[in-house]
């Protein structure tokens, strides 16, 4: 109601505040300083004796004043504690939030810069028939695959004529500078023709069904030397 004049002299207000602060287990000084800026407290005239005819009215007024002080102090304490919490918590939260938001962004940017792949030129298309210098001895091999297999064919100069998967049932022919180096990932049952003539590679197939062999300029099939690349 903002009727602070009903609270009485400052000595009474201090007494009320001290008792109320003791109940709340809070210091009374901050509450009194907060109320002092809003209250205009009359100074008691100690030279005047209280009238004997108004003891009941004075006692009732003090009770009402004490109740008013309790209400005002309670509201003031609630507002003061609420503001203290509001000032303490969000500041730390904002600082933490800024650190959390700033650091990962920088790291993410650095990680993106490191992870960005450099452009790679596309691999040139490989023809089953490599270019052969005039007069150079060549070899030609034709393969028919009953099952899918990985295939690599390399000429005498080390150039890859073919490298990749071949589907089951496919028929492929390769020609290049002899000797040709051939690697089959699954050679079981593969039909082989060299320069148009049937040839056998069964004796070179390993337990894992893979095989690696060379084809000479005369059309002979030889086992690949140890460590030959494929």
Q: What is the mean pLDDT of residues 189-214?
A: 94
Has residue 52 got a pLDDT over 70? no
Has residue 130 got a pLDDT over 80? no
Predicted local confidence at residue 197, as pLDDT: 94
Q: Give the distance, in angstroms, between the CA of residue 187 and the centroid of all CA atoms in the same chain.
A: 46
User: What's the longest Cα–Cα distance across the chain?
Assistant: 143
Predicted local confidence at residue 33, as pLDDT: 75
Question: pLDDT by residue (tens digit) across 69-80?
Answer: 777 777 777 776
Question: pLDDT by residue (tens digit) across 15-36?
Answer: 777 777 777 777 777 777 777 6
Confidence of residue 82 (pLDDT cuts 50, 70, 90): low
Predicted local confidence at residue 112, as pLDDT: 43
Q: Considering only CA atoms, which of 95, 112, 111, 191 is closest in space to residue 149?
A: 191
pLDDT averaged over the chain? 74
Judged by average pLDDT, the poorest of 35-39, 64-68, 105-109 is 105-109
Question: pLDDT by residue (tens digit) across 152-162?
Answer: 999 999 999 99
Q: What is the pTM of this model?
A: 0.43
Confidence of residue 196 (pLDDT cuts 50, 70, 90): very high
Rounded to 10 deg, the angle between the 55-115 and 28-36 helix axes is 100
Report phi then psi at 11, rounded to 5.
-65, -35
Question: pLDDT by residue (tens digit) across 165-177?
Answer: 999 999 999 999 9
Contacts for 18 with CB less than 8 Å, ≥ 6 apart: 28
54 or 81: whose pLDDT is higher? 81
Q: What is the mean pLDDT of residues 139-160?
A: 96
- The full set of domain ranges for the chain reads 4-115, 138-223
């Amino acid at each position: 109601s903002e009727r602070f004049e009903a609270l009485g002299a400052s000595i009474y207000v201090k007494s009320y505040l001290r008792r109320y602060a003791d109940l709340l287990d809070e210091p009374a000084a901050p509450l009194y300083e907060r109320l002092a800026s809003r209250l205009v407290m009359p100074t008691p005239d100690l030279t005047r004796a209280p009238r004997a005819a108004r003891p009941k009215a004075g006692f009732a007024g003090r009770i009402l004043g004490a109740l008013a002080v309790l209400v005002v102090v309670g509201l003031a304490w609630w507002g003061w504690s609420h503001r203290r919490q509001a000032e303490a918590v969000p500041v730390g939260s904002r600082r933490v939030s800024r650190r959390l938001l700033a650091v990962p962004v920088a790291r993410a940017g650095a990680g993106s810069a490191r992870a960005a792949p450099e452009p790679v030129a596309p691999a040139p298309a490989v023809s089953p028939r490599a270019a052969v210098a005039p007069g150079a001895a060549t070899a030609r091999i034709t393969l028919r695959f009953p099952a899918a297999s990985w295939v690599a064919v390399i000429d005498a100069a080390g150039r890859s004529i073919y490298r990749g998967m071949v589907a089951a049932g496919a028929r492929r022919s390769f020609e290049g500078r002899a000797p040709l180096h051939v690697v089959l990932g699954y050679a079981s049952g593969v039909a082989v023709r060299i320069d148009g003539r049937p040839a056998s590679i069964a004796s070179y197939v390993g337990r894992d069904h893979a095989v690696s062999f060379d084809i000479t300029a005369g059309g002979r099939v030889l086992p690949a030397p140890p460590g030959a690349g494929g």
